[in-house]
């Protein structure tokens, strides 16, 4: 089981691309103007990626102006 879970509440995303600027290894912009997590699983309208290392994803969550990126560590929300 991965140490961290990154959850992207995609319907809330405004497409500002801040996440792609700070963590391009994980985030990319979709043709519809919203961000996507590369290699994620879909859970309803959310995108989920489980990782052992956060890399720049904590910063991506912190710079998101609409707070649609959430990070959990062992089921405890840290962002």
The string over 21-57, giving b where at least 16 C-beta atoms fall within 10 Å of a residue's C-beta and e elsewhere, is ebbeebbebeeeebbbbeebeeeeebbbbebeebebb
Whose CA is closest to 42, among 76, 11, 74, 79?
11
**Global pTM value:** 0.95
Report pLDDT digits (tens) over 8-18: 999 999 999 99
Residue 59 clears pLDDT 90, i.e. is over it = yes
Question: Which pLDDT does position 67 carry in this prediction?
Answer: 99
CATH of the domain at 24: 3.30.70.20
Residue 31 clears pLDDT 90, i.e. is over it = yes
Enclosing domain of residue 25: 4-77
- Structurally, how many domains does the chain consist of? 1
């Amino acid at each position: 089981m991965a140490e961290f879970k990154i959850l992207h509440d995609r319907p809330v995303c405004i497409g500002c691309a801040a996440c792609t600027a700070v963590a391009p290894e994980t985030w990319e912009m979709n043709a519809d103007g919203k961000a996507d997590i590369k290699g994620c699983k879909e859970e309803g309208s959310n995108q989920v990626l489980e990782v052992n290392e956060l890399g720049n994803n904590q910063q991506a969550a912190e710079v998101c102006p609409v707070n649609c990126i959430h990070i959990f560590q062992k089921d405890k929300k840290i962002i």
